[in-house]
Amino acid sequence: MSKRWISTAGVILFLAAVFCVGVLFFRGRIQRSTAEMSASPTKSLIGKPFPHASLVDVNGSKVDEQILRNGRVIVVFVATDCDACMTESKFLSTFVGKRKDVTFYGLALFGTHPQSPELVEKLFPFRVLYDEENFFSRTMGINRVPVKVFLEDGVIKKGWIGADLTDDAKQSFTDWLNGLP
């Protein structure tokens, strides 16, 4: 009986290992496909006004959307349960507040308001707002996060899709941000 138990346990462990490797493989593949996704949703919007929508903060209070239309703003589309968004936010934390002429905001899509505003404030280095009716994602064609959009006085000037945080991508963003006049 013990040999049968050992072989059954061995099969269960083997299947569990195969399952875990499969999950890791497909998760990595999804993150790579996000990073490799074409920039068409933002490229087609370059030079156009940023869409209008109803915004609320982490406490559920209405926020005047004009804050996204004044001066230079980088809007980072995020989700609170997105590992790539956390990686992107960690990278962006080095830039938030460094330039007084560029303001960063997070814009949470795909879900409801979080249970804990304190948690959101710990996760993201910038103020996070919520698109009450997911209007931005529908209007702009955003179906994956993170996405960064640079606005100047409410007009979309540049966009980045995915969290391809290779050294080259980090350096490219850093050079671009430091090169803004």
pLDDT < 50 regions, the chain: 29-41
H-run or E-run covering 167: helix 167-179
Q: What is the pLDDT of residue 110?
A: 57
Whole-number pLDDT of residue 133: 77
Is there a cis peptide before residue 146, judged by omega within 30 degrees of 0? yes
Q: Where are the domains of the chain?
A: 1-36, 39-179
pLDDT at 142: 81
Q: What is the pLDDT of residue 35?
A: 40
Neighbour tally for 49: CB within 10 Å: 12
What are 106's two structure tokens?
């997070």
Q: How many CB atoms lie within 10 A of CB 70?
A: 11
Classify domain 39-179 at the CATH topology level: Glutaredoxin (3.40.30)
Residues 138-173: tens digit of each pLDDT: 888 887 888 899 999 999 999 887 666 778 888 888
